[in-house]
Amino acid sequence: MANGTVTMEVALKALGIGWGDEVIVPALTFAATPYAAVAAGALPVFVDVEPRRYTIDCEQLEAAITPRTRAIMPVHLGQQMCDMDRVMDIAGRNGLHVVEDCAHAHGQQWRGRGAGCLGDFGSFSHQSTKILTAGEGGTLTTGDERLARLAHSLIDCGRPKDAGETEYTFGANYRLGELHAALLERAIERFPAQQAQRAELGEYFEELADGIPGVRINRRDERVTRWSFYRYIFTISNDEFGGAPNRVVAEALEAEGIPAEVQYPPMSRYDLFQPSLSRLPVCVEHADRLDPSRMSFPVAERAGEWQAVYLDECVFRSGRRGVEQAVEALTKVQRHAQELRE
Ligand SMILES: Cc1ncc(COP(=O)(O)O)c(C=O)c1O
């Protein structure tokens, strides 16, 4: 498909989700996840994330379910995967669909099963910075033949998938061009070696960075049986960094030549979801989860505005020396933390 946003919109539409339905989304993700719910006509209901994994908090997820809830969209963020055992258990007990946002998780596996193969649908992005890229593009996976045919029709202007079939859907053109597909076919051949290299160097980074004062390494869950990531997110203690927020630390790392950034603000601050732009109705049962002025997501807010620093995947494809340079830069920035204030 054209990108990793319409993939999720199509997944929800294929599942029959739309007007009046609610879809639960984590409060720390890229705009595309909740945007896809809005594009399908549903309301995204935000839920805070876990403090160590920055993925959806399953206790709060369960508490957010109402009779209108139809789906959960877990996002495998950074180097982590959501607790898919719990997500699938909650979905099963409440009759909900699951659309996994795997834009960061090409190649990850949970208990031997690939990210994107656990829910009804898995959505992948091939946008220019992603670890499997064609400049733009998206892939939607499903193990259900009927859903696959529906999705195929939805992205092809509603036409039936195969000649001779008569079932039309209310679709549009979300197709990927063949040139992009050709690029992806070659990129996927290189992917396994790159994934193995990133995983090995990710472990090396954790070994070296663990002792740096004020740096917390968020290790992956042991149920992640193949590790693959797009960004590596670590947590800083602001006191140990002279009171500086994550953005300043990322800028200092950049100045040292290490590709680092702060990716997502919490959904309570996200411009796109301010009611004046989103036009989301806020006078509903979940006003405290839909109206940014009333939302409170302490973990996502602390992560997004203060503590989460994202390292680019290329740090983990530049050999052991590249990782050592990243750790040296982080150590240097921490030692000179007082200067960050200035
Ligand atoms: C978590 C997440 N979800 C969805 C997307 C959307 O993908 P795309 O840019 O291909 O629409 C992205 C990245 O861009 C992302 O990081």
pLDDT in tens, 79-102: 999 999 999 999 999 999 999 999
Residue with more model confidence, 167 or 156:
156
Residue 150 has pLDDT above 60, yes or no: yes
The confidence score (pLDDT) of residue 81 equals: 98
Does the beta carbon of 313 lie inside 6 Å of ligand 1?
no
Ligand 1 test: best mutation among 123, 125, 126, most atoms within 8 Å of CB?
125
pLDDT level of residue 109 (50, 70, 90 thresholds): very high
Query: What is the percentage of the chain residues whose pLDDT exceeds 90?
Result: 86
Residue 270 has pLDDT above 90, yes or no: no
Query: What secondary structure, in 3-state letters, does 4-51 show?
Result: CCHHHHHHHHHCCCCCCCEEEEECCCCCHHHHHHHHHCCEEEEECECC
Three-state DSSP class for 110? strand
Which residue, judged by its Cα, is nearest atom 10 of ligand 1?
4
CB 214 within 8 A of CB 306: no
Radius of gyration of the chain (CA): 20
Residue 283 has pLDDT above 60, yes or no: no
Ligand 1 test: best mutation among 1, 30, 77, most atoms within 8 Å of CB?
30
The confidence score (pLDDT) of residue 56 equals: 98
Mean pLDDT of the chain: 94
Q: What would you measure as the largest C-alpha separation in the chain, in angstroms?
A: 71
How much distance in Å is there from the Cα of 142 to the middle of ligand 1?
Answer: 18
How much distance in Å is there from the Cα of 102 to the middle of ligand 1?
Answer: 9
Residue 274 has pLDDT above 80, yes or no: no
CB 57 within 8 A of CB 49: yes
How much distance in Å is there from the Cα of 125 to the middle of ligand 1?
Answer: 6
Q: What six digits make up the tokens of 219? A: 């290790």
How much distance in Å is there from the Cα of 64 to the middle of ligand 1?
Answer: 24
> For the chain, how far is it from start to end, CA to CA, in angstroms?
47
CA separation for the pair 63, 325 (Å, rounded): 44
The confidence score (pLDDT) of residue 250 equals: 98
pTM comes to: 0.96
> Taking the C-alpha atoms of 240, 241, 242 and 245 in order, what is their torsion angle to the nearest 10 degrees?
-130
Q: What is the pLDDT of residues 60-75, one digit of tens each?
A: 999 999 999 999 999 9
Residue with more model confidence, 273 or 234:
234
The confidence score (pLDDT) of residue 285 equals: 62
